[in-house]
Amino acid sequence: MAMQRITGFANAKPWETLTLLLLLVLVVAAGCVRAADDEQMRHGGGDGGRKMMRRRAADMTVPITILNSAVDRGAVCIDGTPPAYHLDTGSGAGNRSWVINLEGGGWCNDAMACRYRNGSRLGSSDHMERRVFFTGIMSAAPADNPDFYSWNRVKIRYCDGASFAGDTYNEALGLHFRGQRIWEAIIEHLLDAGMASAEQVLLTGCSAGGLAAILHCDQLRALLPDAATTVKCLSDGGLFLDAVDVAGARSLRSYYDGVVALHGVAPNLPKTCTDHLDATSCFFPQNIIDSIKTPIFLLNAAYDAWQIEESLAPNAADPSGAWQACKSNHLACNASQLQFLQGFRDQMVAAVRDFSESSRNGLFINSCFVHCQSETTATWNNAAGVSPALQNKGIAKSVGDWYFGRAEVKAIDCPYPCDNTCHNDI
């Protein structure tokens, strides 16, 4: 086979030879870059090295850093493997600014579900992708991410199953629930790597990561040594409501009961909440957002697709399957179902009423059927002008205006179906 390739190359026409040579150069160059990154991971990143190679192009992937040193303090994934993160270092004016993104991925509320995670990236760093793309608010492209593209951008991988908030070990099952320790270990490592001198920090997260951003917002402020540093938090798709489902029960509350108990979450919840409410109630953002002192921006769909499917109309609450078509396509919802969904929107609007009165906080609650909008270009900042918008302003511009104090952003959409910018419904 090798001889055939050589012969074919020798007999090729001049333009074919040139094309093959160019392809060969590109392949070799790509291999060199990959080898350099792998070498860096082994000698500088495997133990949480401070310096990471700057991505040379916005569409290149960002390598993983396995924080082996965290194991000594018990900061491990469910299966006992070390925690991990991805860092794309800042440049120019963004050298002393940081976006910290907490990865999402649901929760596990019983031993079987948590053990199942051991065989995936959500429970073991052994199964995490070694390179990931940074898009949306994590993008290095100025056109896609005009306010934060040059910042140090960190994605903390999620492998504990309780929004980085648990801290216990189940010896009988051999399962580690150390989300709080993972959070503390990686943040302290990043402080040593330069974040301690940060001028600006934005903590973000989507879904379970969005909940984590709320739970850890004041904690991050307290961990940063310089009180003059601007610290703010963005929760995307993290406003999970303690809502009644279609069968009249509270499916998500029941699920959260298991998460909070199994993972030992209670001691790490805000004391301003647990001093008068049970721990499960304090795992719901609606019960803690009013007392958080650090500025927060809530980005959420009033008809959150995940909550409709898993909290409002989960299969267990809909044994006849009456909601199946509506969950798959909101255009298939009947009048009664739409009325139920409008009630959910009303509950969300009521949940943020007091929160919105603070001048330090921001809101972008649109009437789309989607879950998470900050981490993909199509919804974060689509240059073609087809991404979601409120008051003629897209999400990236809204978050930037709020963070930098360019404008107050308290945008709540009118009820469905008035919004014609929801082109990215999921």
| Model pLDDT for residues 316-352, shown as the tens digit of each residue | 999 999 999 999 999 999 999 999 999 999 999 999 9
* Residue 50 confidence (pLDDT): 36
Q: What average pLDDT does range 236-245 have in this prediction?
A: 98
| Model pLDDT for residues 60-103, shown as the tens digit of each residue | 799 999 999 999 999 999 999 999 999 999 999 999 999 999 99
Q: What average pLDDT does range 245-255 have in this prediction?
A: 98
* Residue 5 confidence (pLDDT): 32
Inter-CA distances, 362 with 204, 295, 384, Å:
14, 8, 25
- Residue 31 predicted with pLDDT over 50: no
Residue 89, C-beta contacts closer than 8 angstroms, at least 6 positions apart: 51, 52, 53, 54, 152
Please report the sign of the dihedral spanned by the C-alpha atoms of residue 374, residue 375, residue 381, residue 385: negative
Which tokens sit at 232? 């703010």
Look up the CATH number of domain 46-412.
Answer: 3.40.50
| Model pLDDT for residues 180-238, shown as the tens digit of each residue | 999 999 999 999 999 999 999 999 999 999 999 999 999 999 999 877 799 999 999 99
* Residue 219 confidence (pLDDT): 97
Which tokens sit at 143? 């056109």
* Residue 329 confidence (pLDDT): 93
* Residue 385 confidence (pLDDT): 73
Which tokens sit at 228? 């003059």
Other beta carbons within 10 angstroms of residue 263's beta carbon come to 28
| Model pLDDT for residues 118-168, shown as the tens digit of each residue | 999 999 999 999 999 999 999 999 999 999 999 999 999 999 999 999 999
- Residue 7 predicted with pLDDT over 50: no
CA distance 297 to 299: 6
* Residue 317 confidence (pLDDT): 98
Residues identified as active-site = 207, 304, 371
Query: What contacts 24+ positions apart, CB below 8 Å, involve 286-291?
Result: 286/239, 286/241, 286/242, 286/351, 287/242, 288/214, 288/215, 289/214, 289/351, 289/352, 289/355, 290/354, 290/355
* Residue 1 confidence (pLDDT): 36
In the numeric block, the tokens 């608010």 are attached to: 137
CA distance 115 to 93: 44
- Total-model pTM: 0.86
- Residue 398 predicted with pLDDT over 70: yes
CA 141 to chain centre: 19
Which tokens sit at 210? 């969005």
φ, ψ for residue 185, nearest 5 deg: -65, -45
Which tokens sit at 328? 């798959």
Residue bearing the bigger pLDDT, 395 or 5 = 395
Of 391, 423, 424, residue with least CA distance to 410: 391
* Residue 408 confidence (pLDDT): 97
| Model pLDDT for residues 254-313, shown as the tens digit of each residue | 999 999 999 999 999 999 999 999 999 999 999 999 999 999 999 999 999 999 999 999
Burial of 103 (0-12, 13-18, 19+ CB in 10 A): buried
* Residue 425 confidence (pLDDT): 67
| Model pLDDT for residues 344-385, shown as the tens digit of each residue | 999 999 999 999 999 999 999 999 999 999 999 999 997 667
* Residue 382 confidence (pLDDT): 78
Identify whether the C-beta of residue 408 lies closer than 8 Å to the C-beta of residue 351. Answer: no
